[in-house]
Amino acid sequence: MDRVALRGLKARGHHGVFPREREEGQTFLVDLVLGLDTRPAAASDDLAKTVHYGIVAEEVVAVVEGEPVDLIETLAERIADQCLKHEGVQEVEVVVHKPDAPITVPFDDVTITITRSRV
């Protein structure tokens, strides 16, 4: 399986369990690795035979900016579901970064990584 990666998609969302997170929102970053067979697209040089990663990026940002959820686990699952709606995508790895998580000690980032497939 071939891989198409998108790194550092940035969007503002209102996800979290605390009222401040829901009211003020915060920046989330998303990394994706889409698993698909790119041979048909390469052989024909036809965008219709692969995944349009620009559209995927827009859809993922819309998920992050959309309906709030409590957990980044839920957000990652919604992102994976959206990616798998694309016919050629057989598998997706989603990493959701929450660099401004409400943690009381110094830290760089909080992430959740999930892998989902059609199988």
**Catalytic status, residue 98:** yes
Q: What is the pLDDT of residue 8?
A: 98
- Residues 99/103/106/109 CA torsion (nearest 10 deg): -20
Convert the pLDDT of each residue in 42-88 to its tens digit. 999 999 999 999 999 999 999 999 999 999 999 999 999 999 999 99
The distance of Cα 37 from the centroid of its chain, to the nearest Å, equals: 20
- Residue 119 pLDDT > 90, yes or no? no
Structural domains in the chain, CATH included, are 2-117 (3.30.1130.10)
Q: What is the pTM of this model?
A: 0.96
